[in-house]
Structure 1
């Protein structure tokens, strides 16, 4: 099972790690379904249990898998919703913290944009899927998002309408297109003189812009996103232990 990687002189546990990543991606593994046991992987790849254990431990350290005592090893889906909301604190009419609902407003295929394609590490002429999405709390838009995806990875989105998308995009990427977002890099800016049609702000009101490059299990960029929110809602929070 590992012969196609042996010629590259990659350590056997790294070969097993790569094969497990491939299994997770190609099979669209459900995070509620435990992975095969270490012994089953050892039999499958004809390696020792210790080699499998080392590969699994590396995937746990990478944040791809999580282990539960007595239950097994599971795919771990990072909570990117909470990640973004560390920059913004939204409250409902009862003054309780609230999580906005995501609604896709627009989806289309567009020509490549050199600056965006560079962020996605694809050829400058490669087509993109472009999405406009808002986050809503009690009928009011709280965040406005622009999203660019490599069309080659998201062919299933070409014929979708906005109402076909689910509230949470990352699980939808995975179930619909097999694209699992494993990690992301975010950069934050304060911007002026930017009017967003969904936020209905004016040029005098500053916005916060959060740029995110989301990456696959293999570390490849598979989404570039720009999220805009009112600066008055900005509230950075971090726990230092």
Structure 2
């Protein structure tokens, strides 16, 4: 099974790791379904159990897999709620923390944009799926998001309407288009002189802008997102132990 790698000086466990990642991607693996056992992988790839164990441990270290005692090894979906929302903690009228509801306001196919296409590592003439989305709590818009996706990866979105989308986008990316978001890089800015139609702010009000590049299991960028929120709603909290 690993003969294709003979000409490469790649350790066997790295070869197995690559094959497992490919399996997860191409089979649209259910994150609630345990992976085959280490022995089953060893038989499949004709390697030792120790080699498979090292490959799996590396994928756990990389945040791709998670081991659950007594249950097995599973595909791990990053908790992005603890990312952006750690900067914007929302409370309802009873002062309880709540997770905002995502609402798609617009989805269209657009021509490539040089700067965006570079971020997505695709040709400058490649078409994009452009999405506008709000995050709301009790009918108040608290975050406004602009999202760009490579049309080649998200072809199924080209015919969808805003009401066809689910509240959580990343699981929907996976079930609808087979695109699994494994990691992301975020950069935060405070900006001025920018108004947003959904937030309804004036140019005199400061905004927080969070730029995110989300990547798949292979490390390829598959989404670029800009999220805007009022600076007065921004907070930073960290526990130091």
TM-score, normalised on structure 1? Answer: 0.98
Whole-angstrom CA distance in 2 between matches of 1:109 and 1:4: 38
Deviation at 1:2, TM superposition (A): 1.3
Deviation at 1:5, TM superposition (A): 2.2
Instruction: Report the secondary structure of 2:98's partner residue.
Output: coil
Deviations 1:69-91 (A, max 9, x none): 11100011001122111111111
Instruction: Report the secondary structure of 1:196's partner residue.
Output: coil
Q: Does 1:28 align with 2:41?
A: no
Deviation at 1:204, TM superposition (A): 1.0
The equivalent residue for 1:227 is 227
Deviations 1:127-150 (A, max 9, x none): 111000000101111100000011
Whole-angstrom CA distance in 2 between matches of 1:186 and 1:239: 20
Instruction: Report the secondary structure of 1:152's partner residue.
Output: coil
Alignment of 1:198-237 (within 5 A): 198-237=198-237
Whole-angstrom CA distance in 1 between matches of 2:226 and 2:3: 42
Instruction: Report the secondary structure of 2:225's partner residue.
Output: strand
Deviates more, 1:231-240 or 1:107-116: 231-240
Whole-angstrom CA distance in 2 between matches of 1:45 and 1:109: 42
The equivalent residue for 1:62 is 62
Deviation at 1:48, TM superposition (A): 0.5
Whole-angstrom CA distance in 1 between matches of 2:28 and 2:233: 37
Deviations 1:177-197 (A, max 9, x none): 111111111000011111101
Deviations 1:98-151 (A, max 9, x none): 110111111111000000011111111111110000001011111000000111
The equivalent residue for 1:72 is 72
The equivalent residue for 1:146 is 146
Deviations 1:22-57 (A, max 9, x none): 111111111111000000000011110000000000
Instruction: Report the secondary structure of 2:84's partner residue.
Output: helix
Structure 2: stretches of 5+ with no match in the other structure = none
Q: Does 1:4 align with 2:13?
A: no
Whole-angstrom CA distance in 1 between matches of 2:239 and 2:224: 26
Deviations 1:170-220 (A, max 9, x none): 011111111111111100001111110100111111110000000111111
Question: How many residues matched?
Answer: 241
Structure 1: stretches of 5+ with no match in the other structure = none
Alignment of 1:42-53 (within 5 A): 42-53=42-53
Deviation at 1:239, TM superposition (A): 3.2
RMSD: 0.9
TM-score, normalised on structure 2? Answer: 0.98
Deviation at 1:237, TM superposition (A): 2.1
Whole-angstrom CA distance in 2 between matches of 1:3 and 1:163: 47
Instruction: Report the secondary structure of 1:67's partner residue.
Output: strand
Q: Does 1:130 align with 2:133?
A: no
Deviation at 1:240, TM superposition (A): 3.4
Whole-angstrom CA distance in 1 between matches of 2:164 and 2:46: 43
The equivalent residue for 2:189 is 189
